[in-house]
Structure 1
Amino acid sequence: MEWTTLVSTMLGAVIGVGSTLLADRLRWRRDAGERDRELLRSSYVQFLEALTQARDVISQASRASNPTQLEQVQSALLEHGVHVKQYQLELLAPSHVVSKARDAGYKLALYRDVVVAGARRDDPECADARRAFRAAREELMEAMRLAVVRA
């Protein structure tokens, strides 16, 4: 057997194996990136869901003066896991999203505190707290959208 045939066969095998390994590596990176994006997206959704559920309890109580509802308002953030889901988000999200998430959680706590203090939906301080939370949540959602696109 001629040595050029042997060399060309070996070179073809090396090129074939190398291209297969490269394609597998690229596919693995793409799949890992998609899994990371999905995990991030899931964390965002869970946090927004917790914020919304807690906000609903607070908003409901701001319309009524039922003492039982005020007790629910005091524990709304805890009951719906706002802080736990915020901590999960902080492990995965970029820093600009984390700061917006903290701000939204803080504004929701302020809204809760205003309602617990006795303010009702039509009171200026309650309306201001509600609007501040809504604005913080909208900023958070925009930061989340951008982060998911970039991820």
Structure 2
Amino acid sequence: MNWMSPLFTIVGVIIGSGVTLLVEQWRWQRDHQREAKQILRETFVSYLTHTARAHESMRQVSEGVHSSPDERRLAILAAFTEANVYEERFRLTMLAPTHVVELAVHSFRKCRAVRDLLASGTETSDDAFRSAQLEYFRAVQATSDAMRKELGIPKLLFVPLGYPPDQPPVTPL
């Protein structure tokens, strides 16, 4: 009896099944990587958005009319808390690589320093605020640059927020 034909059929089935499994594994990995990158992108955007919301809300609240310094302080603290920056920071620490987390925590601390400065009574027109704001802007820029690099997005060729690097904090862009 001729065993060559059934043997080649079995070998063909094994090769075909193996190739199919390899292709499916490759597709699964590609889809998984794509999904992970999308989740990371959304986490990065959410963190930057919440941090910016906290900063802007605190600035606006501090410029409002308050019946007492204590009321102003509490309103600034509430604006920071309501922006949910803590939650976003913790979410980021679970997903982002260490170098991005370090920069994000640094920008968080700069935002918190702005909060503490405003809550202590500093006005947005004071040099101390402008200096702290510039430090915050630079920290956010460094964080954003690292996030963009991690996602494979080119670095921006301009400063999207704050002040130009060569200019003292006099007039925001």
The one-letter amino acid paired with 1:81 is N
2:74 to 53, 60, 71: 71
RMSD of equivalent CA atoms: 1.6
Rounded Cα–Cα distance in structure 2 between residues aligned with 1:94 and 1:77: 25
Q: Which runs of 4+ in 1 moved over 6 A?
A: none
Rounded Cα–Cα distance in structure 1 between residues aligned with 2:42 and 2:75: 27
Report the structure, 1 or 2, having the larger helix content.
Answer: 1
Structure 1 residues not aligned, in runs of 5+:
none
The one-letter amino acid paired with 1:22 is L
Q: Could you tell me whether the CA contact under 8 Å between 2:107 and 2:143 is conserved in 1?
A: yes
Which residue number in structure 1 is paired with residue 157 of structure 2? Answer: none
Rounded Cα–Cα distance in structure 2 between residues aligned with 1:47 and 1:72: 22
The TM-score with structure 1 as length reference comes to: 0.92
The TM-score with structure 2 as length reference comes to: 0.81
Rounded Cα–Cα distance in structure 2 between residues aligned with 1:38 and 1:7: 46
Q: Could you tell me whether the CA contact under 8 Å between 1:43 and 1:89 is conserved in 2?
A: yes
Rounded Cα–Cα distance in structure 1 between residues aligned with 2:21 and 2:31: 15
Rounded Cα–Cα distance in structure 2 between residues aligned with 1:69 and 1:20: 65
Give 1:58 shift.
Answer: 1.6
Rounded Cα–Cα distance in structure 2 between residues aligned with 1:118 and 1:83: 23
Which deviates more, 57-66 or 89-98?
Answer: 57-66
Percent pairwise identity: 28
Rounded Cα–Cα distance in structure 2 between residues aligned with 1:26 and 1:3: 34
Rounded Cα–Cα distance in structure 2 between residues aligned with 1:65 and 1:117: 16
1:116 and 2:135 aligned: no
When the two structures are aligned, how many residues end up with a matched partner?
150
Which residue number in structure 2 is paired with residue 104 of structure 1? Answer: 107
Rounded Cα–Cα distance in structure 2 between residues aligned with 1:147 and 1:122: 36
Aligned pairs for 1:49-60 within 5 A: 49-60=49-60
Aligned pairs for 1:70-149 within 5 A: 70-149=73-152
Q: 3-state DSSP class of the match of 2:152?
A: helix
Give 1:131 shift.
Answer: 0.5
Give 1:72 shift.
Answer: 2.2
Rounded Cα–Cα distance in structure 2 between residues aligned with 1:64 and 1:123: 16
Rounded Cα–Cα distance in structure 2 between residues aligned with 1:130 and 1:108: 8
Structure 2 residues not aligned, in runs of 5+:
154-173
Q: 3-state DSSP class of the match of 1:121?
A: coil
